[in-house]
Structure 1
């Protein structure tokens, strides 16, 4: 199998694995971003009135710090296999990490605009690298990834320039969720089949082209409608249809067959939060007094993105470190903490009197989740091979 070939190559010659530095900086950005909610949960200003507020710090560190790091590590490692072209060199990888570090330093120096400008340049560089591989190999399948990277990069630039910030943030979220949906559509079914077969069982996934295309159409319609008319009734209808079509799509992957593997199950749970996010967004549009938009968005940003980030990083590390589906208590704990983190955040509107407690609990659980992830995979991430 291809995976076995990768493991043999790992043992016989040095391999440049871009995911290592980027998954490490993703953990750093996640912890720094989560820390923003700990003081702000109690109405405190964490980073000084002259700089960036704790809420903006939390948003920008995660959306334009952690998410690009996970994307960069994953794409630079996966694109050579997808396209058959060498994507980057160790020197280019180090330069991208330097751009990330410059952006974080700018934030710490209370220069938020500059701190956002560096990630924009970073994403532009990633787009250039990915485009060279995709276009050079005439890989039409991955053109949509290039388009979404371009949208994310553009939205990052708009936020850095403080121009149409609300629209830019919606574009960033839409491109992020779309990338998660595309990548998950490739990773989740493949890993589910691999896990079930590794356990000596058989599984056949009946993936309907019609269902896949319907889910794609409904999702694109809902996301585009939300960008241009976030409160429109038509957007609410589109979100309901997107939730239903994505639920049907996910059901094809038979996630219940992976209950004994926390990593594979985490992928299914993360994808499930996308469905929940569409459903909650529809509820907000039709009954805004009942549910705020932030609740729906946190189902996407914490539930879907946080859980999928942990699970996809774990699966890539395992593939390249001969860990396969070996059980890991810290890794299981990380996914459990992330689920509890999302549930705590979603409860805030139902229990507004406990805002401080629930917000700080959610922030703490987010930090715990990434801390446990680092504990589980510190060996492979620092180049020590299998744990």
Structure 2
């Protein structure tokens, strides 16, 4: 069973694995995005020759750099299994990598808006590639992925144009969380079953259709209402209901059965942060003096997106290396560092006096997490290590 939740396996060594370059650049963007922001904790507010603020650099490199890189590598590799259609040739992969390189060069040499424009073109290209195979295969299940990619592409364009930036950033975030909910709903239970059975155990996941539909409805309502009216009481209620429904959904997957596999456990932990983020947003809306919005958003951006990115990339790499559940100390350390990174950032709400050191420590742990990821998988990502 693959990281995409499909039982089809390669009978021969695949000649083209598009996740390789994109997972590499995703890790690079993650490290550079946090590294460029860290000096701001010491009072340096501007980063790079284009004069971009450290905060904007951090935001743009992670939200519109790391995230689309992970999505590109994952979808180009998973969609052929989901649809039965070939998605990307090496030339297509090279074109998308070129767009990534143009985006980075524009960020550093021209202006942030030019960098974001190239990033939007990159996401639009990914959307068109995915739409072609989804429509050709008449795969209705993946239409929601296309809709979320379109929303993310639109948000990228709005930020590039400096138009309705706050709304655009919320739209980008809810699009990503929506994609994590969909992809996680396929990957997490599938890998949990595969792991337990590979260890000689038996497991049956009884997934209630009514609970799945309820979770989908509550989540869509919460994401849409928060994107449009982030401080409205109705949005708070929707977020509270989404938190409960997502927690119930995740409990069906029996994450406690994967305690001895760091990769599978990391998927469960990452998905669990989605429910925590919804709960924190609800608390912020109903009692803003008790909890800041930034805390809730970092539960999503670090806890859910950061952890799920590491775990999903690791599971796909391991699958293609024929080492799906073999322990890896650096990979385990990467997930532990990401969890500590998120907890450190959330502690700022409790210990505001130590906000600077905690933020710096959290940023350093983020870099450590992706550095350990590269240490664990650099062989496969650079073209070696496939069996």
TM-score by length of 1: 0.97
Q: Secondary structure at the match of 1:291?
A: coil
Q: Secondary structure at the match of 1:15?
A: coil
Aligned to 1:92: 92
What is the rounded CA distance, in whole Å, between the counterparts of 1:281 and 1:46 in structure 2? 30
TM-aligned CA deviation for residue 49 of structure 1: 8.9
Q: Secondary structure at the match of 1:246?
A: helix
Cα offsets for 1:219-266 (capped at 9, x unmatched): 011111101110011111111100000000000000000000000000
TM-aligned CA deviation for residue 269 of structure 1: 0.1
What is the rounded CA distance, in whole Å, between the counterparts of 2:137 and 2:153 in structure 1? 23
Aligned to 1:177: 177
Q: Which residues of 2 match residues 328-343 of structure 1 at below 5 A?
A: 328-343=328-343
User: Which runs of no fewer than 5 residues in structure 1 stay unpaired?
Assistant: none
Of stretches 48-57 and 153-162 in structure 1, the one that deviates more from structure 2 is 48-57
Aligned to 2:66: 66
Aligned to 1:8: 11
2:280 equivalent to 1:277: no
Aligned to 2:382: 382
- The answer (yes or no) to whether the contact 2:258–2:265 under 8 Å persists in 1 is yes
Aligned to 1:122: 122
What is the rounded CA distance, in whole Å, between the counterparts of 1:233 and 1:173 in structure 2? 20
Coordinate RMSD, CA, aligned: 1.4
Cα offsets for 1:345-378 (capped at 9, x unmatched): 1111211111110111011000000000010111
- The answer (yes or no) to whether the contact 1:33–1:59 under 8 Å persists in 2 is yes
Q: Which residues of 2 match residues 249-260 of structure 1 at below 5 A?
A: 249-260=249-260
Q: Secondary structure at the match of 1:36?
A: helix
TM-aligned CA deviation for residue 7 of structure 1: 4.5
TM-aligned CA deviation for residue 289 of structure 1: 1.2
Aligned to 2:234: 234
What is the rounded CA distance, in whole Å, between the counterparts of 2:48 and 2:160 in structure 1? 19
User: Which runs of no fewer than 5 residues in structure 2 stay unpaired?
Assistant: none
Aligned to 1:367: 367
Q: Secondary structure at the match of 1:226?
A: helix
- The answer (yes or no) to whether the contact 1:35–1:367 under 8 Å persists in 2 is yes
Aligned to 2:355: 355
Q: Secondary structure at the match of 2:27?
A: helix
Cα offsets for 1:86-124 (capped at 9, x unmatched): 001101101100100111111112510001000100000
Q: Secondary structure at the match of 1:8?
A: coil
- The answer (yes or no) to whether the contact 1:7–1:322 under 8 Å persists in 2 is no
Aligned to 1:79: 79
Aligned to 1:104: 104
From the superposition, tell whether residues 4 and 123 of structure 1 become closer, same or farther in structure 2 (CA, over 3 Å): closer
Aligned to 1:56: 56
Cα offsets for 1:198-219 (capped at 9, x unmatched): 0000000000000000000000
From the superposition, tell whether residues 50 and 93 of structure 1 become closer, same or farther in structure 2 (CA, over 3 Å): closer
Q: Secondary structure at the match of 1:22?
A: helix
TM-aligned CA deviation for residue 37 of structure 1: 2.9
Aligned to 1:151: 151
Q: Which residues of 2 match residues 181-192 of structure 1 at below 5 A?
A: 181-192=181-192
2:210 equivalent to 1:210: yes
Q: Secondary structure at the match of 1:85?
A: coil
Aligned to 2:293: 293
Of stretches 194-203 and 46-55 in structure 1, the one that deviates more from structure 2 is 46-55
- The answer (yes or no) to whether the contact 1:7–1:319 under 8 Å persists in 2 is no
2:199 equivalent to 1:196: no
Aligned pairs, how many? 384
TM-score by length of 2: 0.97
- The answer (yes or no) to whether the contact 2:222–2:239 under 8 Å persists in 1 is yes
TM-aligned CA deviation for residue 51 of structure 1: 2.0
What is the rounded CA distance, in whole Å, between the counterparts of 2:129 and 2:77 in structure 1? 12
What is the rounded CA distance, in whole Å, between the counterparts of 2:253 and 2:8 in structure 1? 25
TM-aligned CA deviation for residue 385 of structure 1: 2.1
Of stretches 271-280 and 43-52 in structure 1, the one that deviates more from structure 2 is 43-52
What is the rounded CA distance, in whole Å, between the counterparts of 1:116 and 1:288 in structure 2? 32
- The answer (yes or no) to whether the contact 1:193–1:203 under 8 Å persists in 2 is yes
What is the rounded CA distance, in whole Å, between the counterparts of 1:319 and 1:4 in structure 2? 11
What is the rounded CA distance, in whole Å, between the counterparts of 1:386 and 1:76 in structure 2? 18
What is the rounded CA distance, in whole Å, between the counterparts of 1:236 and 1:4 in structure 2? 39
Aligned to 1:113: 113
2:322 equivalent to 1:319: no
